[in-house]
Amino acid sequence: MLAHKTQPDKAAIVVEGGIIIDDVPSFPCAFVKLYGLMYALHLDPKKLNNTFMFIQKLIMGLDDGKPLKPCLLRLKNDLSIVE
């Protein structure tokens, strides 16, 4: 029986169609580097605004004092995330 892999062999960070960082060893490492690049390069991807806001406020706990948008509050409640 073949085992299913849960991690990719390698990852890369792509911004505007170009590879910025290649051969990242793991998904968590790529995630952290992507977030660092977003802040350092002042990236503001409009299509991912709610995704990054959810990650920033609820997963990373970086609250800016503003209330959650209704769609994010609903997702938070659906996932039963405790602040």
pLDDT of residue 7: 67
Q: Cβ(32)–Cβ(24) under 8 Å?
A: no
pLDDT of residue 48: 83
Q: Cβ(72)–Cβ(53) under 8 Å?
A: yes
Does the pLDDT of residue 21 top 80, yes or no? yes
* Segments in 1-83 forming alpha helices (H): 27-40, 49-54, 70-79
Q: Per-residue pLDDT tens for 22-72?
A: 888 888 888 888 888 888 888 777 888 888 888 888 888 888 888 989 999
pLDDT of residue 47: 85
